[in-house]
């Protein structure tokens, strides 16, 4: 019998217009100890889509499914602090 080493199940937490906004959210979550990754199908140009403006395809922020609620709460609190 082979041991299974499955990692976390990643779930979409939020959609962003470009990679720069998504990367800022990743940094906020990282500061709160919540792992996050960015998935984009629209990375183009020498510097990527962050410097090319908004993505027509959108940029997904993914977190482990068991951290979804904490991630959404953390991002909502961060937005309130910047208002």
* All structural domains of the chain: 10-82 (3.30.70)
Interval 17-37 mean pLDDT? 94
Predicted pLDDT at 47: 54
Note the pLDDT tens digit of each residue in 33-74: 999 999 886 555 445 544 556 565 688 999 999 999 999 999
DSSP letters, 15-58, are EESSHHHHHHHHHHHHHTT---EEEES---STT-GGGT---SS-
Q: Which residue has the higher pLDDT, 83 or 18?
A: 18
Cα separation, 30 vs 75, in Å, equals 11
Q: What would the mean pLDDT of 13-40 be, rounded to a whole number?
A: 93
Residues pairing with 37 in the sheet: 62
pLDDT at residue 50 in the model: 47
Partnered with residue 16 across adjacent β-strands are: 59
């Amino acid at each position: 019998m082979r041991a299974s080493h499955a990692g976390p199940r990643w779930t979409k937490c939020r959609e962003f217009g470009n990679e720069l906004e998504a990367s800022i959210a990743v940094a906020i979550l990282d500061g709160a100890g919540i792992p996050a990754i960015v998935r984009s199908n629209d990375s183009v140009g020498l510097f990527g889509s962050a410097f090319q403006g908004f993505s027509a395809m959108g940029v997904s922020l993914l977190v482990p499914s068991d951290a979804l609620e904490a991630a959404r709460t953390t991002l909502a609190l961060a937005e309130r602090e910047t208002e």
